[in-house]
Amino acid sequence: MKRISTLLIVISMVLVFAAPVWSTYGSVVSGDDTYSGAVTVSFAESMVSGVTVTVDVIVSDSDSIQAAMLIPVYDSDVFELLDFTFNTPGALADVNEVDAVILWEAPADPNGHIASFTLKAKDDAAEGAYEIGCNINVRNENDELYSMDATFGRITVKNKVFGDINGDGKVNARDKAALTTIIKNGEFLEVADLNFDGRVNARDKAVITAIIKGTYKPA
Ligand SMILES: [Ca+2]
Ligand SMILES: [Ca+2]
């Protein structure tokens, strides 16, 4: 009987979390604001379009909680959410396209590295600096709802550079070395096919040599 009642509680909480009110939920709606917590995404890095980056969600100074809804924040014109993973032992977790829910059967300490998500900068992403973050709405053991304070990070997106095979935004001897390895291994990588003939070979090496020397002329 005890098992059934636990199950019922879990199911009813899932239903509450699935209610649309959560998607528009703002800050504290009940309680005395005694509860607190902060979520941080600290990130300051450059990436090139087409490349992925994994962002860690860190919770600090939080009281124990029963459930949390994590809403990753990013510009969907620029980024695509590829993956969302939890680092929360003993919790039930569910992810859909817009948010992610974590549910504990008993009040739990959520502090620490609670989740990670992976973003891909779209191939046609506009260059610029973009805020990324994660909002967390919480239900505590007294059934009170509140939002954690959120600190966002920042990613600078740069366009792909022709000849930048290792994706660091520059074209230099390292890319030539990367190309040599690709040829040696008999691999095909689109980014390394610099004359667009569907193969990666010595002709592409001639192109990258010319780019580095500054003598490259597009055909
Ligand atoms: Ca490079
Ligand atoms: Ca080629």
Q: What is the pLDDT of residues 167-217, one digit of tens each?
A: 887 899 999 999 999 999 999 988 899 988 999 999 999 999 999 999 988
Q: What are phi and psi of 44, to 5 degrees?
A: -145, 100
Question: What is the pTM for the complete model shown?
Answer: 0.63
How much distance in Å is there from the Cα of 28 to the middle of ligand 1?
48
CA distances 160 to 35, 45, 118, Å, are 45, 15, 19
State the CB neighbour count (10 A cutoff) for residue 18: 11
CA atoms within 13 A on the CB side of 89: 1
How much distance in Å is there from the Cα of 160 to the middle of ligand 1?
10
Q: What is the pLDDT of residues 68-105, one digit of tens each?
A: 889 899 999 999 999 888 888 778 888 776 678 888 88
Domains in the chain with CATH codes: 2-158 (2.60.40.680), 173-213 (no CATH)
How much distance in Å is there from the Cα of 204 to the middle of ligand 2?
5
How much distance in Å is there from the Cα of 214 to the middle of ligand 2?
19
CB under 8 Å to 43, separation ≥6 — which residues?
Answer: 53, 55, 132, 153, 154, 155
The span from the CA of 175 to the CA of 37, in Å, is 45
How much distance in Å is there from the Cα of 206 to the middle of ligand 2?
10
